[in-house]
Amino acid sequence: MDKPNKLKELTAPCGLYCAVCPIYQAQTDRALAEKIAARLGLPVEDATCSGCRPQQGKVVVMGKQFCETYQCVTGRKLDFCYQCPDFPCLKLAPSADRANEIPHNTKIYNLLLIQKKGLKHLAQEAGDLRRTYFRGKKVRPGAEPQL
């Protein structure tokens, strides 16, 4: 598979980038899979994910048999939500439910980043974006922190 197709396969239609997700990484890290399984109360073999596209929207590890957003995008024959005339819609609305565990509140930002700068840029920035989401505040270069 060539690099552009691999990047697309690793990027969900909603803009989440799978390669930086611990549940995706657990495919090749048994200890991580065991930790995720224990936390989610799942068998170890169910505590991994290969991504929305390879799994055709079946996101069992997240408690969903099928992802509505994946079904919507593929049903409209699109690659990403931002290509839809109804973008943004309620399927992408931020949610407080498990927001501290799941970076779904970053979807709109990621989609706009893909739209403006492309998949390659998202792939390059995804690790930093994930760390910022979970661990700290993003400060613009040159901006003074508020006291």
Q: Going residue by residue through the chain (147 aa), what tens digit of pLDDT does each one get?
A: 667 688 899 999 999 898 888 889 999 999 999 998 998 888 898 888 898 899 898 877 766 678 889 999 999 999 999 999 999 998 887 777 666 666 777 888 888 888 999 888 888 888 777 777 677 655 455 444 343
| Burial (CB count within 10 angstroms: exposed 0-12, middle 13-18, buried 19+), residue 75 | exposed
Cα 60 to chain centroid, rounded: 15
Q: Please name every residue paired with 11 in a beta bridge, in sequence order, or none if there are none.
A: 17
User: For the whole model, what pTM was predicted?
Assistant: 0.75
Characterize 99-120 residue by residue with b for buried, 16 or more Cβ atoms within 10 angstroms of its Cβ, and e for exposed.
eeeebbebbbebbebbeeeebe
Give kind and range of the element (H or E) at residue 107: helix 107-117
CA dihedral 109, 138, 27, 67 (to 10 degrees): -30
Q: What is the predicted pLDDT for the residue at 63?
A: 67
